[in-house]
Structure formats: structure tokens, C-alpha cells
Structure 1
Amino acid sequence: MASGGAAGEGEWLKVAQLRAAVEAQDAHAREVDNLTLRRFLRARDHDVDKAAAMLVKFLKWRRETAPEGFVPEAQVRRELSQDKVCMSGVDRAGRPILVAFPNRHYSANRDMAEFKSFIVYLFDKICARIPRGQEKFLAIVDIKGWGYSNCDIRAYIAAIEIMQNYYPERLGKALMIHVPYIFMKAWKMIYPFIDNNTRDKFVFVDDKNLQETLQREVDESQLPEFLGGKMPLVPLKDYVQQPHQAV
């Protein structure tokens, strides 16, 4: 299990070893900060060789996926128009909150290349909101109204693999709420593709425990209005931040 929290002297020593190993393979690694290196190290349970392989793969992928340093909005306009992801407030730990609505995603209308670009665009945006001193975000995934027309196993697996491989140690927790029974059949197909360090972060919340769980995680002032809080949702297409902050 990847450790969290503050790093000890031994961990920073491994970060230095990781930097040396990756810079020897890819000069672009010099631009990667130590906190990013630490996340990749933790994602591979402090195995420097495995973390180096993961990071080298990431650097190559990033250059190919976002050659300008970011995914242009025009590249994901159709995905953005569906309002399947919104920004909200912050949780009690100061982690920014992302709210997803899988019932607004239709497999028949999905173009996989655009969908993958959208996932990168989305993760870049939420990671840019993470404040100094915090490294993770909280996701609230509202599965209310989800049905077979929304079921898209290939897209779900693609999104999870992008998160695991290229945004390691960014997801703090994903609260899965209003979960219909039929969704669990899809989840059984997705689950084997989720790595051990990520599986525990998906928390399925019973309706009867929903308000108690939400209040434990998020103050009422920061909780989305549709869940009984006071924070309006901002669709991702309407969310504005400083242009192209570093991920």
C-alpha cells in the first residue's frame, strides 16, 4: 500500500535516486518537481526501478498527448458540452471536489480519442486546483439514473488507466453515491483493471448513510447544493482558472 503524508529522510533519498535514474533516460525529467517524483515513487511502493519506468512512460505520453503542454478546449468541446463533470468546493482536508454524473455519458455517442483527451483535460483542471500542501482531490460520483445506454466499460477502464498511470496519488477518495444495482454488474468488469493502491479509494455509500458520510467529508458550505449543501456546481466547460497552470 502506498504511504501518504509527510516524507521522511529515507523517502527523499529515494526521490533523489529516482531523479537520477529518470534523467539518465529522459532529459525532460529535469523539469519534473520533487513532489511529482514522490507521487510516482509512492505509486510503485517505493521501488525506484518501477517508479522510474512509470515516470519515463509518463513523460513520453505527456509529450504525445499534450504537445502544447495542455489539451486545447476545442479538442474536447463535444465532451464538455454534456456537463458530465462539474467543479465544486473543497472537503474538510482542503482537497478540491470534482462531481461526476455518469448518466450523462452515452457510449453510442462517444469518440474514444476525444474521450481520452477529455479525461486528460479534466485531470489537468482538477489537479491545478489542488492547493500547496495538499496533493489529492475528492471525487463525488453520482450514479443516479445510470442505465445500459450509459454503460461504457472501455471508456471507464481507459479513464482509470489514465488516472493510475499518469496522475498517480492524485485521487484521495471517490464517493460513489446513488448507486443502482445494475451498475454493480459493470463494476465487476472494471474492478480487475484497478490497481491495489487505487481500489480502496472507491467508497460505495449506501443511501441511508449518505448525509452522514458527506457531512463527515465536506462542510455544508462546501457541499454541492443538490446534495443539501450551499455550494453551486460549476460545469467544467464554464470553469475558469489561471490559464494552463502546471499539473
Structure 2
Amino acid sequence: MSYLFRTRSEKATQQKPESSEEQQRKIEDVRELLGDLATETPSFLSDGTIRRFLRARNWSTEKAAKSLKEAIKWRRQFKPETICWDDLAGIENEVRRAYIPDYLDKNGRTVFVIVTSIKSLTSTKEHIQQLVYNLENMAMNSEDAQENVVWMCNFSGWTLSSTPLWEVRESLHIIQNYYPGLIGAAILSNPPKIFESFFKIVKQFLEPTLQDKIKFVYNNNAESQRIMADMFDMDKLESAFGGRNTAILDITKYAERMRRRDQIRITCKNTNRNT
């Protein structure tokens, strides 16, 4: 398997970035297409969110509006904005399995780490809730930035039972439909040979634009390590990904950080609601 996986044409169909004035006009066009929804859900339908959906839908106002309507319908049912740190089950084990580290990549993007060898001890419903909680936090950091997340998966020790296919499919559905344009790069680190067959199935659920962002990297591969060094400060990057950081995640400090982020999200929500 190549460390860098490419599919379709190299983003040949993507349009060139438009001027800020043209972008703003499209944002207003989407608001008009959304009608009353634009005023009913102001905390979600910020300019940054609409811009992110527009970019993910190749600046088509009709497609962006349709996607936003579907996202709003889902949000009414799931209520992701209400999920807080203290609502999550199995915190310690789940955080060691999936967390947002306190460093960024060299382009200032948020990093999200998943350690697939750590088996989830929660139910599927709780697992999805944890994913959505993290997506909400990462989306908060992406209001004015496109593709602002680097998704890092450590596949050392991965087995077929580590990642149920139907759970992967549900997770990808949420990411691609309700948080489109969030992921800028996906790093799949040290996948075993058996993962190739699994990935052939998974990529059927991936949109072409997301497929093009996937990179396979290996700690014993010089070119892979060059890629990682170009993207990250190796002193901060975890050793599992070839970096020099051997520190163990401090759950107590992490909980404090996430509770602070919850307060920021609640404040932003209430501010948008009252404006």
C-alpha cells in the first residue's frame, strides 16, 4: 500500500477561490434559500458555518442550502450543541482512545488523535455521542477556516474487531454530511497489511474530496517521516506517529481544558441567540 493514497483526479473539478465580496454574496443567497431557518438557528448558521458548507459543496448555493437543511434537521434530533464533557460516558478510556491534543500542526490546524488499538468500552450510542462532541469542538475552531482539522489515526495493533464497519459508516455519514469541509488531512499511521482489505470497503463510503486527503504513513519509512516533519513540530508530535513526545495524556488536565471549551461554546451560543 502506498503511504499516500490518491483517488480520482487531483481536485481538478474544484473551483478557484472567489473574492471575499463574492463569497459574502453567496452566503446571503444561502440565507435567503434557508428562509426562516436562518433566524431560527443563528448559533449554528454563522457566516463561517455557511462558508464551510459552501466550500464543501463547490460553492453551489443550492447544494449548500440543501446540506444545511439536512444538518439542521439532524441537529434538532441529536442536539449536539448541548453535549458537554460531563455528559460523556467512560471518560478516561474513551479519551485515551480519541482526543484533541493541545498542539496544532504547522499550518495552525486542530489535531484529532484516534488510537484504534484501544477498544471502546461504551455503547455505540455513547461512542457516536463522543465523536459528535469532539466534532462540535473542532467545528468551533473552524468558523473562519476551511479544512481546519488534521485527523490522526494510529493503527498499530489494529484488528478487524477494533473498528466495526457499520460504526465507521455511521461516523463517516455524520462527518461528511453534518460537518463537511472540516477535515483538511487524514493521517493513517502504521496500518497492518490486513487493513488494506478493510479500507477497500471503507473507501466506498468516502466522498472523493475526502479520499484525496488521506495519507498512509509508516514510522519506518523515510518519506513518511519527511511528510510528518513537514506537517508537525516533532517535539510535540506523539511518538506513536514518529514524533519525540513520549508524555502520557493527563486526563485531569484534559478534562479541565474541555470544560473550559464547553463554557466558551455555551457563551458563543447564547451570544448568537441574543443578537
Q: TM-score normalised by the shorter chain: which range applies?
A: 0.7 to 0.9
The one of 210, 213, 230 equivalent to 2:224 is: 210
1:100 aligns with 2:151: no
Determine what percentage of the aligned residue pairs are the same residue. 22
Contact 2:27 2:50 (8 Å CA) reproduced = yes
Mapped to 2, the partners of 1:4 and 1:115 lie a distance apart of 38
Query: Which blocks of at least 5 consecutive residues in structure 2 are unaligned?
Result: 1-12, 269-275
2:89 partner amino acid: R
TM-score (structure 1 length as normaliser): 0.85
Structure 1 range deviating more: 49-58 or 236-245: 236-245
> What is the correspondence of 1:153-232 to structure 2 with a 5 Å cutoff?
153-206=165-218, 207-208=220-221, 209-226=223-240, 227-230=242-245, 232=247
Deviation (angstroms), 1:137: 1.2
> What is the correspondence of 1:71-82 to structure 2 with a 5 Å cutoff?
71-78=83-90, 81-82=93-94
1:87 aligns with 2:100: yes
Counterpart in 1 of 2:53? Answer: 40
Mapped to 1, the partners of 2:148 and 2:15 lie a distance apart of 13
Mapped to 2, the partners of 1:129 and 1:235 lie a distance apart of 22
Deviation (angstroms), 1:166: 1.1
Mapped to 2, the partners of 1:41 and 1:205 lie a distance apart of 31
Mapped to 1, the partners of 2:251 and 2:52 lie a distance apart of 25
Contact 1:140 1:174 (8 Å CA) reproduced = yes
1:140 aligns with 2:149: no
Mapped to 2, the partners of 1:25 and 1:13 lie a distance apart of 18
Query: Which blocks of at least 5 consecutive residues in structure 1 are unaligned?
Result: none
Mapped to 2, the partners of 1:233 and 1:37 lie a distance apart of 38
4+ long deviations beyond 6 Å? none
Mapped to 2, the partners of 1:65 and 1:47 lie a distance apart of 26
Counterpart in 2 of 1:55? Answer: 68
1:119–1:28 Cα change, 3 Å: same
Counterpart in 1 of 2:82? Answer: 70
Structure 1 range deviating more: 234-243 or 95-104: 234-243
Q: Secondary structure at the match of 2:100?
A: strand
Aligned-pair Cα RMSD in Å: 2.8
1:110–1:4 Cα change, 3 Å: farther
Q: Secondary structure at the match of 2:40?
A: helix
Q: Secondary structure at the match of 1:181?
A: coil
TM-score (structure 2 length as normaliser): 0.77
